[in-house]
Amino acid sequence: MRIACLQAACGATGVQQFLERLRTAARRAADEGAELLVTPEVSIGGYPLQAGNLAEASGPVDGPQCAEVSAVAREFGIAIVHGWPETDGPDVYNSARLVAPRGETLAVYRKAHLYGRAERTLFTPGAEAVVQASFGGMTLGMLICYDVEFPEAVRAHALAGTDLLLVPTGLMRPWEVVARTLVPARAFESQLYIAYANWTGDHGGLSFCGHTTVAAPNGTTYAITEDREDLLVVDIDPMVLKRARASTTYLRDRRPELYA
């Protein structure tokens, strides 16, 4: 399965501006043969989070914001992962949604590990550790940004059979080590692919470090190393998964009775 990860220039944007960028990225990804496009954390609304953009971007999973993304997926025949502030009654979640090429919702994940005072003020933490969907003959899972920095969260996906972990993120400087070192380590130690799509650039006093990465279970990594908006296109190979899991047997050799 071929996937594309959008590394987007940061800045709070309106919903229509985001949809124009998404349409451009979806067209390019589809033209390059990608079946799935992954966008950064809170891609509807953008970073840094501002009250006006947050209010415009917020809505339920069956709201107009998600419906617009579904229309883009149908237009280009490509699955899309997008982030947005999901409302559910009085609660607002930092959520990611996986949309099928025909526009239907395949999965919604709510960020469980909220980072810093701002996120804890704006959002309610999610309560479901492992969210999965089947697509392209593979089992896809989702985490968001800070979640992937917890080895337990990634290992839970590995034990549940996730093949490709989709991680919209908003990683800032000086934490480039997460993208460069930790994400590849997570993919290797839990024997799955990780697609990590980040913002880049400076805005509103925040500096996002880019380095959008796809890490394979055999230690191979693909990344955008320049600080620019771009698309990372990578083939996810089931045979790489099979061979890596056969040769690196962490999941089989673990002794959970010792870790409680």
pLDDT at residue number 94 = 96
Helix 64-76 to helix 15-31 angle (10° resolution) is: 20
Catalytic residue among 111, 119, 149, 229: 111
| Beta-ladder partners of 11 | none
Question: 10-residue block means of pLDDT along the chain (260 residues)?
Answer: 96 81 97 98 81 82 95 98 95 97 98 94 95 98 98 98 98 96 98 97 88 98 95 98 96 92
Q: Which tokens in the block code for residue 29? A: 């990804």
Q: In whole angstroms, what is the distance from residue 110 CA to residue 59 CA?
A: 14
Catalytic residue among 5, 41, 56, 66: 41
Strand pairing category for 193-197 and 213-215: antiparallel
66 flagged as catalytic: no
CATH 3.60.110.10 fits 2-255, yes or no: yes
- Sign (positive/negative) of CA torsion 24, 141, 167, 11? positive
pLDDT at residue number 238 = 97
Q: What is the pLDDT of residues 158-209, one digit of tens each?
A: 999 999 999 999 999 999 999 999 999 999 999 999 999 999 998 878 899 9
56 flagged as catalytic: no
Burial track 29-68 (b if 16+ CB lie within 10 A, e otherwise): bbeeebbbbbbbbbbbbbbbbeeebbebbbbeeeeebbeb
| pTM, rounded to two decimals | 0.96
Q: In whole angstroms, what is the distance from residue 71 CA to residue 103 CA?
A: 6
173: burial class by Cβ within 10 Å (0-12, 13-18, 19+)?
exposed
pLDDT at residue number 194 = 98
Catalytic residue among 119, 145, 149, 229: 145
Every domain of the chain and the residues it spans: 2-255
H/E element, 159: helix 151-160
